[in-house]
A and B are shown apart, each in its own frame.
Chain A
Amino acid sequence: MELLIGQMFAGLSLGSVLLLAALGLSLTFGQMGVINMAHGEFMMAGAYTAFVVQRSVSDAGISLLVSIPVGFLVGGLMGLVLEAVHLRRMYHRPMDTLLVTFGVALILQQVARDVFGAPSVDVRAPAWLQGNVELLGSPIPLTRLFILILSLLCLAALAFLLRGTSLGRRIRAVVLNRDLAESSGISTRRTDQLTFFIGSGLAGIAGVAVTLIGSTSPYLGTNYIVDAFLVVVAGGVGQIKGAVIAAFSLGVLQSALEFSTTASIGKVLILVLIVVFLQLRPQGIFSLKTRSLA
């Protein structure tokens, strides 16, 4: 029983990290069809932001709370620059954006290596996040609980943004039918920019969050990007609820498979499962009903 709860929580915790990484990706991929391989590097930027903030603010608790909005801004601004400089000219060829953003990712990794050095750095978790809580007899690390709550908060904020604000209505309109949205007076240009800002900002927050459970290195992004993309693919492109279900089921499945086999075989099995799943639902868990053939 304790083992089961421990396993479940490990899965949910992995799922929440995946969800944080995939939320922003789902937004930018779904909204604009842009496959942003630099998303992982925006996470890395968020993580290094937490590191830098902690060096200037000595108290670990305050620095964490400051890092989250600052990480959001850093990630968001990087996304905004990338979108403005390059991607907006490439919306009609989404596959090529993947390669272009991969180039950006390479450059950002090297920048991190040159500025912070190749060895990884550590961010201290604040005192109130050290230790465990007991849940039905099994210990739950507070840092992981914090990340779970943070990811749910981000999810709630994003859901509110999409459902309850005029920006959200504009975003949904552009996703459904770009031309019609434009002819109804929505500036798709500004909507794209804001969407990219928010999506990349979420990557920044994810980066701050993962500093609590691991060390920060220039390769941080590459560890998460492939899994985050798999979440988006399994969940259905541009589907936030799909991403939520996919992230938590992949998290639980992966930690269960890694527990019963080995870490490497678990990864392979997950991939096989996703390919099999796509046989049943090629468009992911949820799909947007449109009249396009693609």
Chain B
Amino acid sequence: MAIDRRELERLIPALRRYARGLAGASVADDLVQDCLMKAIARERQFRGENLAGWVYAILVNCVREAARASRRLPPVDPLADVADAGSDPASRIGIIAALGALGHEHREVLLLVVVEGFTYQEASEILTVPIGTVMSRLARARDQLAQRLDGAPVVPLRRVK
């Protein structure tokens, strides 16, 4: 079905935010543009349920394709990303640099749930991985981020007998 252009337009700021965290400032807007063009070209495939989820899935694929094409995306550039980010640049640079050091699949899920606010079910559909994988990757992503941020050792959870 046809996509409501206004509804799609309202998603652009958040799509830019997600792309920026996933791939860095230098390519984020190119990826969003690619995503929007594909969304419009494929609008007949949209089933009219969750536009945000459907468009984010397209963006995730655009980023994955770009990563495959270039072997590795340019590293997230902390300074470029926080240039206009207001007060307290030091902590922002720290967290963005730590995020940039995570593996791509960990960044995907962490930003999708924590920053973009999707449910696990939605994240599972957007990333096309089982919901259990969403949760376990999320835990690993958070531990690795903690380790990189304050050098905290990652204590693996002891299973309760």
Do the two chains belong together in a single complex?
A: no
